[in-house]
């Protein structure tokens, strides 16, 4: 879920991985990273369609949770993209301070706008989470984007993934400060091991569920970083293959123990089954890894979807709640999708893009001289 797009020589999506340094033409090099925009853009469309469909098609939500839910498929894709570009952004900026200034301007202004829009929305519809619109502390905690850590419900149910992403940013910053950010295979291997140990110890030893969804998202981001190192030639492909094989075995065990072995809880989480979670996890990697290894040429409109994906992700629940529900299912899904991306385009142009450009100017700054730069191709900057 890293929010930005790739610029190519012919079209100019407004944010993201702007150029790569290679020995070949810049346009051709940039095209090789355009798949990141395609992944985020198409995943954002799928999120909107899935949520709209579950709201208007009887039985769809229960069936998808049981057999193949798009959440465990799409969200790891977002995190794989984050892992691919965020560590590089830190390295190329050369400073945690510049990185966090750019990240803050990239994420928080639009996040706060989406939070402000909930004030009038919650006068019309009630929250679907435990969030209390009359509680000032709930609003204040949600301003931080870390309300999970404060024990406060999310004002918007999709906010929870942003907490995971912020945690990944902090983790990368710590690795960068310790000089370990390039040790991606070691870090990913430790991540897989920790995921397996925690995912088995809690259900087997204490009879409690491990938050496997959170854990898999975090591990997915680590694998995104390994994929980038493979693309630059810093890591042999066989290392990635071995890590993926280990993750496949470990995640199968974690998914079984937490979604089949233990009794299912009440509510939405109780709908998930082993198949409904593990199959999407596998599918996310099956989609991302070939794209990262051999990215296809993509139409401009697909890249453009990546530009507004963050706005679409934050705004689509509001559109869902306000859209008339007496429409036929197909018309409802189409209307929600169209209105969401129209609104997302506006907020992108008015809110996101100006702050992205400001953050990019800050991130340029005065960078330290690097005699030993990473092998080409290297991202110049990532949003």
pLDDT at position 216: 95
Confidence class for position 352, pLDDT limits 50, 70, 90:
very high
pLDDT above 50: residue 346:
yes
Of residues 37, 7, 24, the one with CA closest to residue 303: 37
pLDDT above 90: residue 269:
no
Q: Are 374 and 350 in contact (CB under 8 A)?
A: no
Answer with the residue of higher pLDDT: 29 or 144.
Answer: 144
> Distance from first CA to last CA of the chain, Å, rounded?
11
Please tell me what DSSP assigns to residue 159. Answer: G
- CA atoms lying within 13 Å on the CB side of residue 279: 12
State pLDDT tens for residues 187-206. Answer: 999 999 999 999 999 999 88
d(CA 291, CA 77): 11
pLDDT at position 8: 33
pLDDT at position 261: 86
State pLDDT tens for residues 23-82. Answer: 343 444 445 577 888 888 888 898 999 899 888 888 887 888 888 888 889 899 999 999
Q: DSSP readout, 297-362?
A: P--HHHHHHHHTHHHHHHHHHHHHHHS-TTS-HHHHHHHHHHHHHHHHHHHIIIIIHHHHHHHHHH
Q: Which residues pair with 20 in a beta bridge?
A: 379
pLDDT above 50: residue 4:
no
Percent of the chain with pLDDT strictly greater than 90: 48
pLDDT above 70: residue 377:
no
pLDDT at position 267: 64
What would the mean pLDDT of 226-234 be, rounded to a whole number?
Answer: 91
How remote is the C-alpha of 205 from its chain's centroid?
A: 31
Task: Name residues whose C-beta falls within 8 Å of residue 364's C-beta, 6 or more positions apart in sequence.
Answer: 381
DSSP run (H or E) holding 20: strand 20-21
Confidence class for position 14, pLDDT limits 50, 70, 90:
very low
Give Cα separations from 137 to 41, 142, 153, 158, 370 (angstroms): 34, 8, 11, 19, 46
Handedness of CA 277, 282, 287, 293 (dihedral sign): positive
Alpha-carbon dihedral angle through residues 71, 72, 74, 79, given to the nearest 10 degrees: 120
What would the mean pLDDT of 286-307 be, rounded to a whole number?
Answer: 82
The overall average pLDDT reported for the chain is: 83
pLDDT at position 303: 76
Confidence class for position 128, pLDDT limits 50, 70, 90:
confident
pLDDT above 90: residue 207:
no
d(CA 77, CA 120): 32
Residue spans of alpha helices (H) in the chain: 26-31, 35-56, 60-67, 71-93, 96-121, 136-143, 160-177, 184-201, 212-232, 237-256, 274-293, 300-307, 309-322, 329-347, 353-364
Q: Are 38 and 306 in contact (CB under 8 A)?
A: yes
How many other β-carbons are positioned within 10 Å of the β-carbon of residue 198?
A: 15
Structure tokens at 99: 């990185």
Global pTM reads 0.81
């Amino acid at each position: 879920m890293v929010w930005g797009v790739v610029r190519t020589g012919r079209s100019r999506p407004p944010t993201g991985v702007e150029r790569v340094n290679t020995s070949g033409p810049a346009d051709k090099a940039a095209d090789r990273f355009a798949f990141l925009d395609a992944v985020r853009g198409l995943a954002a469309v799928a999120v909107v369609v899935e949520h709209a469909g579950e709201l208007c098609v009887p039985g769809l939500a229960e069936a998808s949770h049981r057999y193949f839910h798009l959440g465990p498929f799409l969200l790891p894709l977002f995190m794989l993209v984050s892992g691919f570009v965020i560590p590089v952004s830190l390295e190329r900026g050369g400073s945690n301070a510049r990185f966090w200034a750019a990240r803050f301007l990239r994420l928080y202004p639009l996040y706060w706008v989406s939070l402000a829009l909930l004030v009038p929305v919650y006068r019309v519809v009630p929250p679907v989470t435990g969030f209390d619109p009359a509680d000032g502390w709930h609003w204040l905690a949600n301003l931080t984007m870390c309300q999970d850590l404060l024990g406060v419900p999310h004002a918007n149910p999709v906010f929870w993934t942003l907490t995971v992403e912020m945690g990944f940013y902090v983790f990368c910053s710590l690795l960068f400060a310790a000089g370990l950010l390039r040790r991606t295979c070691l870090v990913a291997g430790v991540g897989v091991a920790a995921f397996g140990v925690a995912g088995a110890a809690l259900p087997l030893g204490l009879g409690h569920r491990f938050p496997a969804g959170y854990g898999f998202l975090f591990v997915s981001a680590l694998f995104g970083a390994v994929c980038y190192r493979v693309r630059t030639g810093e890591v042999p492909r066989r290392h990635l293959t071995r890590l993926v094989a280990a993750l496949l075995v470990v995640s199968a065990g974690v998914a079984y123990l937490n979604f089949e072995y233990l009794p299912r809880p009440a509510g939405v989480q109780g709908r998930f089954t082993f198949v409904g979670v593990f199959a999407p996890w596998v599918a996310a990697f099956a989609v991302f890894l070939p794209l990262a290894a051999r990215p296809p040429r993509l139409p401009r409109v697909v890249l453009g979807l990546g530009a507004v994906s963050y706005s679409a992700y934050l705004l689509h629940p509001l559109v869902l709640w306000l859209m008339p529900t007496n429409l036929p299912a197909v018309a409802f899904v189409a209307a929600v999708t169209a209105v969401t991306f129209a609104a997302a385009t506006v907020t992108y142009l008015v809110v996101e893009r100006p702050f992205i450009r400001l953050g990019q100017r800050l991130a340029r700054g005065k960078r330290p001289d690097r005699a030993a730069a990473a092998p080409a191709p290297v991202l110049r900057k990532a949003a």
